[in-house]
Amino acid sequence: MEKVGFAGLGLMGGPMVMHLIRAGLDVAVYNRTPARAGQHLRAGAELCSTAAELAGKCGLILLCVSDTPAVEEVVFGPSGLIEGAAEGSLIVDHSTISPSATREIAEKLRQRGVGFVDAPISGGTSGAEQGTLMVMAGGEAGHVERLRPVARHYSSNLIHIGPAGQGQLMKCCNQLVAGLHVLALAEGFRFAGEAGLKPADAHRVLGGGAAGSFIWDKWGAMLLEGDLSPGFKIKLHRKDLLLVRQECERVGLGLPGLKLLLELYEKAIDRGLGELGDQALSKVL
């Protein structure tokens, strides 16, 4: 199998790379903060000093960074991937970014003979650590199939949604629904507490019926323990919801739930909760 490069060793990317290394793949990594690569180097990965160097050594390059500007910087910035990527190489973006920007990136790379797949992921840090992420892929079918044998090491499912940008559109849909589940968790716990119910009982009972969900089960359990550490950060979810709003504006769609979510996430960030997990939205209520 070809050498695999990975740029971005954060809460999601770091564990994903470890799955690739443990699977015996030949892996090179790049991160703006090289110190984060310590465990990966000890496990056998090669460290590159620039994104261009990474692309020069790998035919398949994966990246997972924070937002649209970060992706554009890694791909097209000084010493970016495009400077080292050979014709026929494939860049796969596991970040969550603007669908319209994604289509532009894909076209620019196509003109340089480089393939591109937008492949945002869902499942939080626990999914990254357990290797059970959902991958929503947009791009040419051949490019998606080239990714599939690699992605199976950190994901439980990869679905080809359609052409470039469609993966990011599906992730927008995912983040909208996930945000509404977070609100349901926060309000459910608030109602239980104020009505005289034990939140632990509510968590157990509702989780066993129609109200149950990954967020209710996983983050509800953390909320019961007072654990507000991020499976997904509030500030990043707000960033994703803004992408959803942009797409709604593009197609002329009004969603009252989205409007409410953005108001609550803004309040959470104003109160200094942005670095905490989504379950900390309960603090706003």
The residue behind tokens 């490019």 is 143
As annotated, the active-site residues are 171
Q: Is 36 left (phi over 0), alpha (psi -120 to 50) or beta?
A: alpha
93, 63 in Cβ contact below 8 A?
yes
Among the listed residues 101, 32, 126, the one whose alpha carbon sits nearest the alpha carbon of residue 242: 101
The SS3 assignment for 233 reads strand
Question: CA dihedral defined by 214, 220, 221, 224, rounded to 10 degrees?
Answer: 180
The C-alpha atoms of residue 140 and residue 144 are separated, in whole angstroms, by 6
